[in-house]
């Protein structure tokens, strides 16, 4: 058996600041997952003012709670020096350092091996709406 690799680049649209469930959007952009018996999917966001994470996908209140938690850790209203791209510039960079820019998810029998209540989130820290570039890399054993 030989290890196979696939890589896809795609963009995620977002709705502005907040935590956005993007599991289905990822799956639609990376259909190669279905070809793998066992492997892993790495997702990397090519931005410094957003992040990727995995959290509960059942209760929509989780999204608001996550935003509240991040706002408490890195408050919007503080004296930040870095404001080149707007007042939320430094805040967004600070939050992205705390969030993940890259996540890895196991693949089992052509499916992401997420837990029952887990989903992939785009953590958007900028108030303005941005398209976010993602690099998805899969490695593992393809189905025969």
Nearest alpha-carbon partner for 135 in 48, 47, 52, 45: 45
Q: Which residues contact 18 (CB under 8 A, 6 or more apart)?
A: 63, 67, 124
pLDDT of residue 109: 97
Tell me the pLDDT tens digit for each residue of 25-74. 999 999 999 999 999 999 999 999 999 999 999 999 999 999 999 999 99
Per the structure, the count of domains in the chain is 1
pLDDT of residue 144: 85
Q: What are phi and psi of 50, to 5 degrees?
A: -155, 170
* Stated pTM of the model: 0.94
pLDDT of residue 76: 86
**In the beta sheet, which residues pair with residue 138?**
6, 41
pLDDT (mean) for 113-127: 96
Percent of the chain having pLDDT more than 90? 81
pLDDT of residue 84: 73
Give the Cα separation of 23 and 136 in Å (integer). Answer: 13
**Is a pLDDT exceeding 90 seen at residue 89?**
no
For residue 117, the enclosing domain spans 4-142
Domain with residue 100: its CATH number is: 2.60.120.460
Tell me the pLDDT tens digit for each residue of 65-83. 999 999 999 998 878 887 7
């Amino acid at each position: 058996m030989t290890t196979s690799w696939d890589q896809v680049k795609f963009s995620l649209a977002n709705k502005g600041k907040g935590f956005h469930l993007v599991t289905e959007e990822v799956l639609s952009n990376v259909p190669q997952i279905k070809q793998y018996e066992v492997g892993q999917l790495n997702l990397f966001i090519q931005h410094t003012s957003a992040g990727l994470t995995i959290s509960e996908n059942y209760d929509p209140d989780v999204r608001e709670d996550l935003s509240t938690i991040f706002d408490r850790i890195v408050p919007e209203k503080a004296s930040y020096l870095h404001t080149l791209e707007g007042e939320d510039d430094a805040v967004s960079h600070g939050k992205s350092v705390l969030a993940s820019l890259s996540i890895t998810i196991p693949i089992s029998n052509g499916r992401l091996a997420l837990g029952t209540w887990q989903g992939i989130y785009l953590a958007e820290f900028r108030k303005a709406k941005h398209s976010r570039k993602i690099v998805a890399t899969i490695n593992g054993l393809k189905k025969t």
